[in-house]
Amino acid sequence: MCGIVGYTGSRKVVPVLLEGLRRLEYRGYDSAGIVYQMDGEIVKYRAAGKLANLEKEVDDIIGTDSHTGLGHTRWATHGVPNEDNAHPHSDCTGELVVVHNGIIENYSSLKEELLADGHIFSSETDTEVLAHLIEKYLEKDLVAAVRQALARVEGSYALGVMWAREPDKLIGARNQSPLVMGLGEDACYLASDIPALLPFTREVIFLDDNELVLLEKGSYSIMDIEDGASLEKLPTRIDWNPAMAEKAGYKHFMLKEIYEQPQAIIDTVKGRVFPDTGMIQLPEIGLTDKEVKNIERIALVACGTSWHAALVAKYWIEKWAGIPVDVDIASEFRYRSLLMNERVLTIAISQSGETADTLAGIRRASSLGSRVITICNVVGSTMTREADGVIYTHAGPEISVASPKAFTSQLSALFLLTLYLGQVRGTMDREVRLQLGRALIDIAATIETILPVLQKRIRTMIEDFYTARDFLFVGRGLNFPIALEGALKLKEISYIHAEGYAAGELKHGPIALIDKDMPVLALVPQDAVYQKTVSNVEEIKARQGRILLIGTEGDHHLTTLTDNVLFMPEVLEDLNPLLYTIPAQLLSYEIANRLGCDVDQPRNLAKSVTVE
């Protein structure tokens, strides 16, 4: 949520800031702004709406000979998305500027105090309080003033601060919102997330909570905000490249990332499953075999799409590893009474590794004695640094809000984990493990083959459905979470109201919604609950619901229920979720695209939810 970028070095700053913001726009797109130093003064440009509006405004000043500045793309929390509320925010003199991601929880009382001191505010944001608070303490030393101000602040922040009187210097500070610095030749960068840095450098340092960094051209110093103690931190090298975060000819990042799924699955599974022996290797979870055998319960914690992956994993782990699994939405988990001990393994699932609720959830579980691991895509993200073990999904940078490849690579990692638990605990026959491990490897090729054919078929099929105002998705067993995920995808990118249900639940209420105008997409692979799901489809048909089915190739019975059937190749039942989510993703994409929606930047959303 909100993207910050900062630069000081020998390049001209405006293009660097704009390039960084372009690569962070998925974090928020309500407004954007940049600020730079010029002849001892601060020059600021801001615009409401997408970054393109700001780009138009700064078209004439791209070549400005300034070498230090800050940029921001906003996801509004306090104050409507207009130009006045756009960052950067200034103090009363206009010489000090701040960009911020997070929420200053005690901003009202601070604002009252600052107003009483005579400060003049020009926005409704919580962030502007920071600019005036730093001004209040500012005499000669910016670092000292920032530290004094932050000592008074409650809440979360990733900050960039710049002062006209200390040219070529930037300050970054972090508490509970992500901030990373990049190291270049004679240059230092600041960013909310790695993609902003990829065109410039891959040497990065992740800031931790309560840390402040002073950046100067080519040098930096990191310190503890509270006591000012100097800190040594080693850079990490990121192996993503800039091209990975570009559209590569696709109309939208979402479509590109749908097509990248086979590779993401291969990269996640590679080196961890041995197809000849069926052995699974996952040393990165950091548990001894004895500890794995001692696990008494698993708590899976996540939000949104990642939560849906967790729901699938519950079926797998309970079936194959015999361990009871609780699945929690992180925003609930973090506040409810938890029964935890050292034999409960908490697993946080997160693409970004920065989701505020999931992070708070694992901190709570850890404080109650649980061992914590995370399944995460972003190297060096906060969760990966705080967890006791990390299973990385190797999906590459994910830009689209809708998270298609994060989902299938999370499923792959969770399936691997299931096989690993079964292997160590002896709850699975070697032969079964071998068969399932091979099937996991093979699923990537299967998806690769069906993708173009499926997309073509779905593009035609949606002509009958894209104007619907509501949609139901139903499935049973392993496919119930896929129904939830399908509904989430459709509603978030097309704004069509969609709900996912366990097919057996229809009769307990939702069936009342069904009439000739209600499309219902049912997932009906020939699995253990096939007949039950087919019966539910019959019930929908009897009430004239408009049916779409996704089922197994060769299942002719489905064509007697509706003309709208998508056939999928037969794979091992356990792997159906990886396969059946693909048509659901494509259906949402094609409908949203047909409706002319902004697929990659759906309204009100941001990719990485770093505030509560």
Contact residues: ligand M6R, CB under 6 A: 303-306, 350-352, 355, 358, 401-403, 406, 488, 492, 608-609
Is 270 part of the annotated catalytic residue set? no
Q: Which of 2, 188, 376, 597 is catalytic?
A: 2
Q: Which of 44, 136, 256, 607 is catalytic?
A: 607
- State the nearest-atom distance from the C-beta of 1 to ligand M6R, in Å: 10
Neighbours of 207 (CB within 10 A): 23
Shortest reach from residue 599's CB to ligand M6R, in Å: 11
Alpha helices, DSSP H only, in 10-126? 13-22, 51-57, 107-116
Closest chain position to ligand M6R (CB)? 304
Rounded to a whole number of angstroms, the minimum distance from the CB of residue 591 to ligand M6R is 15
Distance between CA atoms of 200 and 23, rounded to whole angstroms? 12
C-beta of 545 vs 583, nearer to ligand M6R: 583
- Other Cβ atoms less than 10 A from the Cβ of 556: the count is 7
Residue by residue, DSSP assigns 214-229 as EEETTEEEEEETTT--
Complex with ligand M6R: residue 312 or 488, whichever CB lies closer? 488
Q: Are 214 and 181 a contacting pair, CB within 8 Å?
A: no
Pairing of β 297-302 and β 344-350: parallel
Residue 375's DSSP bridge partners are: 349, 391
Residues whose CB falls within 8 Å of the CB of residue 345, separated by 6 or more in sequence, listed in order: 287, 295, 297, 298, 299, 370, 371, 372, 373
**Residue 18 beta carbon to ligand M6R: minimum distance, rounded to whole angstroms:** 25
- Least CB distance from residue 411 to ligand M6R, whole Å? 13
Rounded CA-CA distance 223/231 in Å is 5
Report the residue number, 172 or 404, with the smaller CB distance to ligand M6R: 404
Q: Do the Cβ atoms of 300 and 328 come closer than 8 Å?
A: yes
Tokens 């709900």 map to which residue? 499
Which string of b and e fits 131-144 if b means at least 16 CB within 10 Å? bbbbbbbbeeebbe
Distance, C-alpha 215 to centroid of its chain: 28
Question: Does residue 376 carry a catalytic annotation?
Answer: no
Q: How far apart are the first and last CA of the chain?
A: 10
Residue whose CB is less far from ligand M6R, 47 or 417 = 417
CB 590, min distance to ligand M6R, A: 16
Q: Considering beta carbons, is residue 261 or 358 the nearer one to ligand M6R?
A: 358
131 or 498, CB closer to ligand M6R?
A: 498
Residues with active-site annotation: 2, 607
